[in-house]
Amino acid sequence: MRACVPLIVAMLCSLAWADLYSAPSSCRDRCQEAFDRHQPCHCDARCPEFGNCCKDFESLCGHEGFSYSSDAITKEELQSISEKIYRADTNKAQKEDVIINSQNRISPSETRDQVDCCPEPLFTYVNEKLFSKPTYAAFINLLNNYQRATGRGEHFSAQQLAEQDAFLREVMKTAVMKELYAFLHHQNRYSSEQEFVSDLKNMWFGLYSRGNGEEDSSGFEHVFSGEVKKGKVTGFHNWIRFYMQEKEGLVDYYSHIYDGPWDSYPDVLAMQFNWDGYYKEVGSAFIGSSPEFEFALYSLCFIARPGKVCQLSLGGYPLAIQTYTWDKSTYGNGKKYIATAYVVSSTQ
């Protein structure tokens, strides 16, 4: 196994990769082609996750949801509402509340090497007074309600079901979720707040099977708590969960391939880590955001761009979120569960 490269070499490698990525290549006639490491940029379904798509991937391959609808949500509207949600997140961490040590950055081509390039934890300090805020407390109560191994059915107690409802009640009190509901109501997606909350509960907490026919997964478990499938970490896109597991000695931070441009929270980090014996090759997460902020943006993108790349704007910087639908089972009137949602890029 190779030795960990020094930070300066990793940065040079990353810059070299960026030059390659900007080569004048196209996804024309290449959408959904198999990954080929010899290509300078890619057009497969997972290229947004690894940040190596061709520049025209979204326009040629990432056809956006609701484009057929007379009340389609435009890219400009998504950027506008995401900025409003960003400004409304008064529960986010302040700079002095969270101190991270991102350490060594590697190139995307090195993410499979499973080399620990960072001797120190990611989180140097977190002001845990944040966790006493109602939405944080309600969110944290949910994290240990799941078995991380897929293939094992999930069964909730009355208390755990009540915790799901409590979380939804708390986030709906926030300005962040009020902004989101007002926008979706105006867009004719929901006729009442009750309908909206009911849909959120189904799409995020409804159980479905990722394998063996067991109801072993949900959008919330996958995205925020994390799962292990076929020996690999899947999901696990939340900074609070990461911090708490790292504090317990269950997460070992290895490296990162991307650090966002924001000079205040929320920020974005795409990282590699080991979770109690299982590796996460690329795990992007907001850092320092409130639970309602992440919940709102992921919900927005799943509703407006299901299974597509969703182009947003936060503090003047562009941000892309990818969602995937779970197509093997549905709820309600043929609606699909959320399979996953995560930040894929922030490009100029």
153-189 pLDDT, tens digit each: 888 999 999 999 999 999 999 999 999 999 999 999 9
Residue 10 has pLDDT above 70, yes or no: no
Tens digits of residue pLDDT in 117-132: 999 999 999 999 999 9
Mean pLDDT of the chain: 87
pLDDT value of residue 12 = 30
- Of 92, 222, 229, 336, the catalytic one is 222
Q: Which of 65-79, 220-234, 251-265 has the lowest mean pLDDT?
A: 65-79
* The Cα angle at residue 181 between residues 178 and 186, in degrees rounded to 5: 125
Give catalytic status of residue 237 as yes or no: yes
Q: Which of 45-59, 158-172, 323-337 has the lowest mean pLDDT?
A: 45-59
**Interatomic CA distance for residues 279 and 110, integer angstroms:** 13
How far is it between the farthest Cα atoms of the chain? 57
pLDDT value of residue 163 = 97
Task: Indicate the pTM of the whole model.
Answer: 0.80
For residues 124 and 100, the answer to whether their CB atoms sit within 8 Å is yes
Residue 194 has pLDDT above 50, yes or no: yes
Give catalytic status of residue 155 as yes or no: no
pLDDT grade, residue 228 (50/70/90)? very high
The identity of residue 38, as a single letter, is: H
pLDDT value of residue 47 = 74
- Of 42, 92, 229, 280, the catalytic one is 280
pLDDT value of residue 49 = 59
Q: Which of 83-97, 147-161, 224-238 has the lowest mean pLDDT?
A: 147-161
pLDDT grade, residue 216 (50/70/90)? confident
Give catalytic status of residue 280 as yes or no: yes
Tens digits of residue pLDDT in 274-309: 999 999 999 999 999 999 999 999 999 999 999 999
Tokens of 323: 């969602």
Helix runs in the chain, H state only: 7-21, 47-50, 57-61, 75-88, 134-143, 158-172, 175-186, 193-205, 219-220, 239-247, 291-304
Rounded average pLDDT over 314-341? 90
pLDDT value of residue 334 = 81
Percent of the chain at pLDDT exceeding 90: 68
- Of 42, 237, 256, 336, the catalytic one is 237
Residue 38 has pLDDT above 90, yes or no: no
pLDDT value of residue 346 = 60
* CB neighbour list of residue 57: distance below 8 Å, 6 or more residues apart: 27, 41, 42, 43, 47, 48, 309
pLDDT grade, residue 16 (50/70/90)? very low
pLDDT value of residue 27 = 82
Higher pLDDT, 1 or 103: 103
Of 246, 247, 251, 249, residue with least CA distance to 228: 251
DSSP 120: S
